[in-house]
Amino acid sequence: MDIREAILQGSTALGIELGSTRIKAVLVGPDHAPIAGGDSLWENRLENGIWTYHLEDVWAGVQEAVRNLKEDVRAQYGVALKRPGAIGVSAMMHGYLPFDSAGRQLAEFRTWRNTITEAEAAELTQLFGFNIPQRWSIAHLWRAVKNREAHVPKIAFLTTLEGYVHWRLTGEKVLGVGEGAGMFPLDNDTLDYHGGMIEKFEALKAPYGLPWTLREILPRILPAGEDAGRLTEEGAKLLDPTGDLEPGILCCPPEGDAGTGMTATNSVSPRTGNVSAGTSIFSMVVLEHGLSKVHPEIDMVATPTGKPVAMVHCNTCSSDIDAWVRLFGELLTAAGRPLDKGELYGLLYRQALLGEPDCGGLLSYNYYGGEPVIGLEKGRPLLTRDAESRLTLPNFMRAQLYAAMATLSIGMEILAEEHVALDKLYGHGGMFKTPGVAQKLMAGALNAPVAVMETAGEGGPWGMALLAAYAKNRAAGETLEAYLQNRVFAHSREETVLPAPEDTRGFKEFEKRYRAGLALQKTAAEAL
């Protein structure tokens, strides 16, 4: 009855996140615990060499997720969801979505997964003295400018996926600090785009005679907790064509999935960090001070309130594991012994704990595309071994999980060399659903304590709902750090696993073979 009344009174917050393979909607109650959810599946497409999603699929998926959420609310509590207290939208970070002055899309949505801007990212990195990853919006924009793509002079607005969705819902062209820092470098003091670097880019593009300036086409940046607009009548119909949802609902600044991951794991203060492991894998470490030099493997971004963050982003994580799990599932089905998806994943993940610490000599690569952290333009999934390697199911599964963590480990070793202080890493995402497995192996691989909260399975959409709740409920002067610590996580439970020496030694042996065998990836990409 209390939850039902909270829904009727609007004492809730709604978080929507557009992930790589699933669009999720989560509704939280006054105590910030999830009370209902809905989702929708979707997939990216490779069209003309570009990884993309169609915008009509965005709205079909968002509407299905919201519809399923509403049905969950009605089934559990017997009421219609009409007016959440606040709404927040999150999505996969980065990418390229340009529009003209009439709001028409000018080019296909170029997602984070594309590795087509290597030359442009390197040029901008040298120009700015600041690492520009290939997936950042400014790298894609500079590529389009250099190539004199026909749409470039018509650009009136450039944004990312969540920025686009928020714009259509509210009419406001804004982004949260964390996502804004992935479009163009941030000035952590002003919480705005870096003015000096903007001037350098303007000088760089001047010979092309374009009719716009960068500041004119980029979204305005807002820190967490700010009012980022209200749900319009048109926006309400986009979310819910049935008309149940009412306009006028407060919307918080849209954030990227890195920002929601930090929020969902209470990793927004210095010396905290988190690892998100799903279709991609990335770590976020909140810094006490800047790094001593530019590292192409490390992205400098920000928390939703603008604190500096070192990010190691790897394009591929679980895709190859998922493919192997499907294969084993087909075998069991053919044998007349099918298992449901959760049981099958649990069975195979637990086998990894029985494997030899170095995987018995097996070597696996999980690359489905390029991987900028190691300078790989194209990748191919690959399993290899020598004649003396011990090919057992436990060793095989351990090698699959190690492969998903190896590139992240290579990037994290750079932070260790920079003497970055880190008390604990919080794990979240699909890889951590089987208790104790990925957590133990990752602690050994990264040689750091890895904690998993009881809420780790809630993930990004829950983190976005928390940011929406913060915008609605925060007291004057109450920081996000204080809000999360005192109101959300004060009584939360977590399990921390310390690195086991034998796991750390075994992973180092695996990583040594992994680095030595990287030449195989280039050969495989050329041959296949």
Residue tagged 């190896």 (tokens) = 406
Q: If you average pLDDT over residues 482-506, what whole number do you get?
A: 94
Q: If you average pLDDT over residues 359-379, what whole number do you get?
A: 90
Q: If you average pLDDT over residues 498-525, what whole number do you get?
A: 95
Res 426 pLDDT > 80: yes
Res 1 pLDDT > 80: no
Cα Rg of the chain (Å, integer): 23
Q: What are phi and psi of 363, to 5 degrees?
A: -135, 125
Complete domains list, the chain, with CATH: 266-455+498-528 (3.30.420.40)
Note the pLDDT tens digit of each residue in 251-302: 999 999 889 989 999 999 999 999 988 888 989 999 998 888 999 889 999 9
Q: If you average pLDDT over residues 416-423, what whole number do you get?
A: 90
pLDDT at 424: 87
Res 409 pLDDT > 70: yes
Q: What percent of the chain has pLDDT over 90?
A: 85
Beta strands 174-176 and 186-187, pairing class: unpaired
Q: How confident is the model at residue 524 (pLDDT cuts 50, 70, 90)?
A: very high
Judged by average pLDDT, the poorest of 57-66, 322-331, 448-457, 486-495 is 448-457
Mean pLDDT of the chain: 94
Q: If you average pLDDT over residues 97-114, what whole number do you get?
A: 96
Res 456 pLDDT > 80: no
Q: Among 223, 242, 252, which residue's Cα sits nearest to residue 28?
A: 252
pLDDT at 191: 94
Give the whole-angstrom CA distance, residue 205 versus residue 160: 21
Helix (H) or strand (E) holding 515: helix 501-516
Q: How confident is the model at residue 457 (pLDDT cuts 50, 70, 90)?
A: low
pLDDT at 493: 87
What pTM value is reported for the model? 0.85
Within 8 A by CB and 6+ apart from 157, the residues are 98, 99, 103, 167, 173, 217, 219
